[in-house]
Amino acid sequence: MKIHALGYLGFESPRHEQWLTFGPEVLGLQVGERGADGAVHLRMDERHRRLSIHPGEEERLAYVGWELAGRAAFEEAVTEITPELEEFATGVLGLELFGGWTSATPDGAVAGPQFYRCNPRTHCLGYVGVPGMRGVQHIAIESTHLDDVGRAWDLVQERDDIPVTVTLGRHMSDTLISFYMRSPTGFDIEFGAGGELLPVDFVQTSPATSEAWGHKFVADGWAPTVRPHTP
């Protein structure tokens, strides 16, 4: 299987209707046609949706939509299902390792996240192993202009209903300038601009630190969507 891009994400949330205002007012997303179940579908380009929030009793990831090049690639992919995570990311999805390094986590610990890519972007999937825990910590949305990030930064600080969880900054591993905010569904949204596109002769590196500047945690612990694992 060879993934082309991350296509869309779907979540469930008892607060799904809050995205009707949060999506356009804070992130600049367009609200599309509502789903049959009342889902809020949010657009950012020509696609029908990139982010969907369905009604549900708890805050959780419902599905991830990965794009393939065509029907033949899709039909081949459905025969390759397995789930050891490392094997699933590289052997099944066909992602390539962008890099891994030690980094501080929201609960004050230090862990070694791994990041995977499927196109010129630095990564489309990242995970960190936290014993006994599972869930989604954050998703990222990239704007085409840095000024959009500045305006969103000002807007969020002026409102008292959208907590900033990580301050404005830039990761050492890429050129994206971003900050993190808590979404109505509980997971964080990294909103940024200026992310680099990697050349075909990209060589993996291991940065000495995870942040070039900024990106200070100002929220306690993991996002509510990261919960203890129960069999």
pLDDT at 139: 97
pLDDT given at position 81? 56
Instruction: Find the range with the poorest average confidence among 24-28, 168-172, 189-193, 204-208.
Output: 204-208
For position 73, what pLDDT does the model report? 77
Mean model confidence pLDDT for the chain: 91
140 band by pLDDT with thresholds 50, 70 and 90: very high
Between CA 139 and CA 117 the distance in angstroms is: 15
Which pTM does this prediction carry? 0.83
Q: Could you tell me the pLDDT band of residue 125, with boundaries at 50, 70 and 90?
A: very high
- Mean pLDDT to the nearest integer, 175-180: 96
pLDDT value of residue 80: 66
Let me know: does 183 contact 172? Beta carbons within 8 Å: no
- Mean local confidence (pLDDT), 181-190: 97
pLDDT at 99: 84
State pLDDT tens for residues 198-225: 998 888 777 878 899 999 999 989 999 9
> What is the arithmetic mean of pLDDT over 44-52?
94
**194 Cβ partners below 8 Å, 6+ apart?**
146, 175, 176, 177
DSSP assignment string, 71-126: HHHHHHHTT-----HHHIIIIIS--EEEEE--EE-TTS-EE--EEEESSSBS-SEE
With beta carbons less than 8 A apart as the criterion, state whether 186 and 227 touch. Answer: no
- Structure confidence at residue 34 (pLDDT): 95
Amino acid at 144: T
**What is the C-alpha separation between 217 and 214, in angstroms, rounded?**
9
Do the beta carbons of residue 184 and residue 15 sit within 8 Å?
yes
Other beta carbons within 10 angstroms of residue 115's beta carbon come to 20
Among 108-112, 134-138, 212-216, name the one with the lowest average pLDDT.
Answer: 108-112
Report yes or no: 224 and 165 within 8 Å, Cβ to Cβ: no
Q: 57-98 pLDDT, tens per residue?
A: 999 999 999 998 887 777 777 666 557 777 888 888 889 988
Which has the closest alpha carbon to 26: 42, 38, 12? 42
pLDDT of residue 33: 93
